[in-house]
Amino acid sequence: MTTPRPTGIRVHLSPWCAAILRHGYPGQIPAAVIERALRMLATADGHLTPDGRIKRGGGRPAGRKP
């Protein structure tokens, strides 16, 4: 996987998320770990096609039901 390119979007992590990144993924680039996690979530939620492209108007509606 390639190193993520800066997009101008800044995300502020909670202390809990930062601790997971620091202790669970030592030595890895935090942005790359977050990118992999977001890709897995988007795939599971049906927002990506099987080849990884973003679906337009498809997938589950935003938000999760309890």
pLDDT tens, position by position, 2-35: 666 667 788 899 999 999 999 999 999 998 999 9
Q: Is residue 10 part of a domain?
A: no
Any domain includes 34? yes
pTM > 0.95: no
Tokens of 51: 């080849």
Residue 52 has pLDDT above 60, yes or no: yes
Please write the tens of the pLDDT for every residue from 53-65: 999 875 556 665 5
Q: What is the pLDDT of residues 39-48, one digit of tens each?
A: 999 999 999 9
Task: State how many domains the chain has.
Answer: 1
* Range of the structural domain that residue 37 is part of: 15-44
Helix (H) or strand (E) holding 34: helix 30-44
Q: Which residues, other chains included, contact 42 with Cβ-Cβ below 8 Å and sequence gap of 6+?
A: 48, 54
Confidence (pLDDT) at 13: 92
Residue 3 lies in a domain: no
